[in-house]
Amino acid sequence: MTVEPNLVSREVLLMQLSAVLPDENRSLGIPPACYADAGLLALEQQAVFQHGWVGLGRADRWPDAGDYSAMDIGGVPLIVLRNRSGALKAFANSCRHRGSQLLNGDGNCKKIKCPFHWWTYDLDGRLKVYPRMETAVDFDPGEFGLVEFTVAVEHGFAFVSFEDHPPSIFEWLGDFDEFHQAWGIGHWKMARIREFEVQCNWKTFIEVFNEYYHLPMVHPDSINWLYPEPDAVDIVKGQFTTQFGATEGAAALMADTQQHALPLAPGLQGREAAGTRYTWIYPNLTFALSQDSMWIYQAFPLAQDRCHVIQTICFPADSVALDDFEQRAKYYYDRIDAALAEDLPFLEQQQLGLNSPFAKPGRFGTLEPSVGKFAYWYAQQMLRGLKPG
Ligand code: FES
Ligand SMILES: [Fe+2]
């Protein structure tokens, strides 16, 4: 596609993207323009979000028939909805009459009724009601159902693909199963969800979640003590990066609330029962999988310097069923929110620097291999998007 970056020339951008290497120890980082340049947003939306699969979040966010959310997935207004047979569906949030957005926010509906002229669709996207269309010659309502996209659910996570012929989700996730099956997260339950905006690029939001480097500087008195030196980053097949590290106690609790720890995930043993796995499913869903809880972030671009974040916290079903679950879960929410609150000012500060036309790509340190792995993946997507034709 034709791309006109504002902050750098196209040649410099291509050169910088090509300097992102698979070995993060030899590589330069993602070009700063990719975090700040409004002229690159359309390319990113197309090359990164409209290619392959994108995480929608936990499938149990929509437990009942008619439960829906209106989402913006990299510039595509989308309706995610559970139909009457229990399948999760994804439709373009655009009326087939004259294009109005159909649904906003979250809720439950029996049908999808356009607010403008009341064209109305069932939960499978079929057009059922279309007032005053009697003069339209050869009008076949069967041809005016909602545009539908492919949805897949794996390990309790829902994914959408905008491609006509998406790659297999199994191919996309590669050996994800091998690194995550011990926790049995397919059976975990969502306990709390929050959404908010942050004044930073969506990538920086997810990057900070996937590196141990900043812990002593940004979280010296809160969570730094939890994390000894992590294991090496795992070498994986698939569109994700993951790194495990032992923790001192339950990673999702502060030092002074460890006595409220919920039970370990059923069947979890060995090292995995005493640590946390940080995983980033490309492009923009990341989670920390601890011995008793999982906290997930999705960050979506609103502009190059602003993102919409969804935070979801999950626990094993057995824990959620405990009588005192809510009281104990609150300590987890407090710890997760406190760590996030400490990160936010640093992310906004980082964005201010990235906005400079003179910012240049950096290098990766020992404690940020997953950030480096993502950088290479991202650079390959952008280079593919920039190829002529
Ligand atoms: S735009 Fe939806 S009914 Fe007219
Ligand atoms: Fe942090």
Here the CATH number for the domain that contains residue 311 is 3.90.380.10
Nearest listed ligand to the Cα of residue 345: 2
What is the whole-number distance in angstroms between the Cα of residue 242 and the centre of ligand 2? 16
Q: Is the dihedral of CA 178, 184, 187, 188 positive or negative?
A: negative
Asked whether residue 125 is assigned to any structural domain, the reply reads: yes
Residue 159 and residue 190 share a domain: no
Residue 308 and residue 159 share a domain: no
Residue after which a domain boundary falls, among 123, 143, 166: 166
Residue 267 and residue 214 share a domain: yes
What is the whole-number distance in angstroms between the Cα of residue 100 and the centre of ligand 1? 6
Q: Which band of pLDDT confidence, cut at 50, 70 and 90, is reported for residue 389?
A: low
Q: Which band of pLDDT confidence, cut at 50, 70 and 90, is reported for residue 374?
A: very high
DSSP string, 291-355: SS-EEEEEEEEEETTEEEEEEEEEE-HHHHTSTTHHHHHHHHHHHHHHHHHHHHHHHHHHHHHHT
Mutate to test the pocket of ligand 1, among 102, 111, 117 (most ligand atoms within 8 A of CB): 117
Residue 318 and residue 193 share a domain: yes
> pLDDT for 271-321, tens place per residue?
999 999 999 999 999 999 999 999 999 999 999 999 999 999 999 999 999
What is the average pLDDT across 170-187?
Answer: 98
Which candidate, 53, 52, 43, places its Cα nearest to that of 379? 43
**What per-residue confidence (pLDDT) applies to 5?**
87
Edge-to-edge strands of the sheet including 112-113? 112-113, 120-121, 127-129
Query: What is the domain extent for residue 72?
Result: 54-166
Which candidate, 310, 309, 48, 311, places its Cα nearest to that of 161? 48
Residue 236 and residue 340 share a domain: yes
Secondary structure E strands in the chain: 54-58, 67-73, 76-82, 88-92, 106-108, 112-113, 120-121, 127-129, 148-154, 157-161, 189-198, 240-246, 275-281, 285-289, 294-303, 306-315
Asked whether residue 59 is assigned to any structural domain, the reply reads: yes
Asked whether residue 74 is assigned to any structural domain, the reply reads: yes
Burial (CB < 10 A; 0-12, 13-18, 19+), residue 221, is exposed
Asked whether residue 280 is assigned to any structural domain, the reply reads: yes
- pTM over 0.85? The answer is yes
Asked whether residue 42 is assigned to any structural domain, the reply reads: no
> pLDDT for 188-221, tens place per residue?
999 999 999 999 999 999 999 999 999 999 999 9
What is the whole-number distance in angstroms between the Cα of residue 147 and the centre of ligand 1? 14
Residue 213 and residue 140 share a domain: no
**What per-residue confidence (pLDDT) applies to 226?**
93
Residue after which a domain boundary falls, among 111, 133, 166: 166
What is the whole-number distance in angstroms between the Cα of residue 346 and the centre of ligand 2? 9
Residue 357 and residue 209 share a domain: yes
Ligand 1, residues at Cβ distance < 6 Å: 95, 97-100, 114, 116-119
Residue after which a domain boundary falls, among 112, 133, 166: 166
Residue 111 and residue 84 share a domain: yes
Encoded tokens for 183: 């926790």
Question: Taking CA 177 as the corner, what is the angle to CA 288 and CA 78, rounded to the nearest 5 degrees?
Answer: 70
Asked whether residue 1 is assigned to any structural domain, the reply reads: no
Residue 138 and residue 112 share a domain: yes
Asked whether residue 46 is assigned to any structural domain, the reply reads: no
**What per-residue confidence (pLDDT) applies to 388?**
76
Asked whether residue 15 is assigned to any structural domain, the reply reads: no
> pLDDT for 92-125, tens place per residue?
999 999 999 999 999 999 999 999 999 999 999 9
Place of tokens 């280079």: 383
Strand 76-82 and strand 88-92: pairing?
antiparallel
Nearest-CA residue for atom 1 of ligand 1: 98
Nearest listed ligand to the Cα of residue 368: 2
As a whole number of angstroms, the distance between CA 386 and CA 370 comes to: 24
Residue 218 and residue 120 share a domain: no
Residue 322 and residue 355 share a domain: yes
What is the whole-number distance in angstroms between the Cα of residue 222 and the centre of ligand 2? 10
Which candidate, 95, 98, 92, places its Cα nearest to that of 75? 92
Strand 120-121 and strand 112-113: pairing?
antiparallel
> pLDDT for 210-263, tens place per residue?
999 999 999 999 999 999 999 999 999 999 999 999 999 999 999 999 999 999
CATH number of the domain bearing residue 126? 2.102.10.10
What is the average pLDDT across 116-140?
Answer: 98
Residue 218 and residue 133 share a domain: no
Number of domains in the chain: 2
Which candidate, 204, 225, 208, 203, places its Cα nearest to that of 216? 225
As a whole number of angstroms, the distance between CA 48 and CA 284 comes to: 9
